[in-house]
Structure 1
Amino acid sequence: MEQPERTYETATARLAAIIERLDSGQAGLRETLDLVREGRTLVEYCAGELDAVGRGLEELRLDDLVARLEAGEAATRP
């Protein structure tokens, strides 16, 4: 069976399912260990995605600032 592409949204949905399963108290010891490992991997993935988006937003703000500064500079030139 083919795995769906991992996205932030699919990762957070899977994390919610893992938490629900762990909270149910029905997972055995081995399953709990496997779920915790999978959850950790998903949390790390989500943190990386959030980091990347944050960096992208910073770059956009920097680009916008540079453009405004350049526009202001051009407006003050004779």
Structure 2
Amino acid sequence: MTENEMTFEEAYRRLEAIVETLEKGESTLEEALNAFEEGMKLAQFCAEKLSQAEARLKKLIKTENGTFHLEPLE
């Protein structure tokens, strides 16, 4: 599965699995480096997805005349 097809949740679960594997310390150097590289890519992917989600968040504001409008969440 490529990053373009991966959801945030899938990427996050894979990242957690990589961290767990690396914390065990049982990987060869090459395996650890490959896992670290994949983990960094997944972390960046997750950060981008969170940034996109944050940009979509809005807050509902009630105006003085009683109507409502949406503003970006600060």
* Fold in common (TM above 0.5): yes
The number of equivalent residue pairs is: 65
Which residue is equivalent to 1:17? Answer: 17
Following TM superposition, by how much is the alpha carbon of 1:46 offset from its aligned partner in structure 2, in angstroms?
Answer: 0.5
Bigger Cα Rg: 1
User: Which protein has greater RCO, CA pairs closer than 8 Å, 6+ apart?
Assistant: 1
Residue 72 of structure 1 corresponds to 65
> Between Structure 1 and Structure 2, which shows a larger proportion of helix residues?
1
TM-score (norm 2): 0.75
Q: 5+ residue gaps in structure 1?
A: none
Q: Whose strand fraction is larger, Structure 1's or Structure 2's?
A: 2
Name structure 2 gaps, 5 residues minimum: 68-74
Q: For residues 5-58 of structure 1, give each alpha carbon's deviation from its aligned partner in whole angstroms, at most 9, with x where no partner exists.
A: 31110011001110111011111001111001000000000000110111100x
Identity level (%): 32
TM-score by length of 1: 0.71
Distance 1:21 1:73, change over 3 A: closer
